[in-house]
Amino acid sequence: MDKTMYWCGINLQWAYTDLLGYIRFKVTCPHLAKDILHDALIRYTVSGSVNKGSEPHAYIRSIAKNLIVDSYHNAQRFVSLEADSGLNREWLESPTLSVEQLNDIKQRLEMIQQILAQLPPRCRQVFWMYRVEGYTQSEIATALGISKNMVERHVMRAIVDLSSARALMVVEA
């Protein structure tokens, strides 16, 4: 008796073994891999039957590949916490943080908050829209009525200020 389970034409055993294994190999993070697989399954079901054709597994694999590319693009927008702040992996993966670790995090966040508060309001707004809200530089320029070159300058100024503060944190530690 075949115990293969299908959902919307997709063999779930294939999805959670072969496809998930492929995604895990590409992104190296098991949690992100599962998120991508689940997003692919949702996009597959929402897409309607027009695009699926006669090869649903090939179609969902192409959705997953596109989501992997999107995750790489998103990851490039953010700085690795452990790589750029001198933190080690064991400290980050610890299920409970010590009082010293919590104080260290609090001090770092307060320093970042102070640096951002010292930026001119427009510079702070542009940086927030770009790095936190995820707007493109062109979208920000249009929304604020400034040139894309000015947006780039604001972002660079904020990054330089934060980088110099990071250098001070590493020296002090």
- In tens, the pLDDT along 61-115 reads 888 999 998 888 877 776 555 555 555 555 555 556 678 877 787 887 788 788 8
Question: Are 30 and 74 within 8 A, CB to CB?
Answer: no
For the structural domain made of 81-172, what CATH number should be given?
1.10.10.10
Q: What's the sign of the alpha-carbon dihedral 120, 122, 128, 134?
A: negative
Rounded Cα–Cα distance for residues 50 and 109 (Å): 49
pLDDT for 160 equals 85
Helix, strand or coil, per DSSP, at residue 145:
coil
User: Average pLDDT of the chain?
Assistant: 78
Cα of 116 vs its chain's centroid, Å? 21
pLDDT for 1 equals 42
pLDDT exceeds 50 at position 5: yes
Residue count of the chain = 173
pLDDT for 147 equals 93
Whole-structure pTM value: 0.44
CA-wise closest residue to 146 among 157, 138, 156, 136 = 138
